[in-house]
Amino acid sequence: MSFTVERGDALMLTGANGSGKTTLLRCLATALKPDHGRATWEGVDLWTDRAACRPKLSLYSHASALWEDLSGPENLRIWAQLGGYAPNIEARLDEVGLELRHEPVRTYSAGMRRRLALARSLLKEPELLLLDEPFAALDPDGRALVVDIANKRRASGTTLIIATHLPDEAAAVCDKRIHLEAGRAVAVP
């Protein structure tokens, strides 16, 4: 498949389970090496120069990558330290609609965990934000919040690629769409 996404664009990926949406996002996030082909970000090959690309991109995926016995703020502080950036933790929590809580993440609801994972993916202020099923486990207010965050990020120049089974929700953000079947783009409306 071949496609181009310009800075500030929002691209929606749709397709059935197993169609390749998550695999494509993981390849773009340099978490999975593609068998063939190449992907570039601003002219830099993602795999040839992963060290230069990774600070500019973030993947919000099914795996929350949260430590269950730590609080939300503690999780975010550790991720920020590991990444070498110093965000305003309280601002990130506020952005995703979470209060400053000190209970362990294991006490959070599924929706609260998803919101915290979204806050984690926003810590480094990515230029390319890859969202894999961002509406999963969220109530209508949570889904609206994701749309609002995505639109604000996009307005500030962040490029978004959203894989979803809920195209109506993502359509409030995305202006381009690719439909996948068996790892191939079958429609680029």
**Domain residue extents for the chain:** 10-187
State the Cα–Cα distance between residues 117 and 54, nearest whole angstrom: 18
Name the pairing type of β-strands 184-187 and 176-181. antiparallel
Digitized pLDDT (tens) for each residue of the chain, 189 residues in all: 788 899 999 999 999 999 999 999 999 999 988 888 888 888 888 888 888 888 899 999 988 889 999 999 999 999 999 988 888 899 999 999 998 888 999 999 999 999 999 999 999 999 999 999 999 999 999 999 999 999 999 999 999 999 999 999 999 999 999 999 988 888 765
Q: Return all residues near 46 (Cβ < 8 A) that are at least 6 apart.
A: 27, 28, 30, 38, 39, 40, 53
The encoded tokens of residue 128 equal: 């390319």
Plot region of 158 (φ>0 → left; ψ -120 to 50 → alpha; else → beta):
beta
pLDDT of residue 118: 96
Q: Which CATH number fits domain 10-187: 2.40.30.330, 3.30.1300.30, 2.60.120.10, 3.40.50.300?
A: 3.40.50.300
Give the percent of the chain with pLDDT over 70. 99
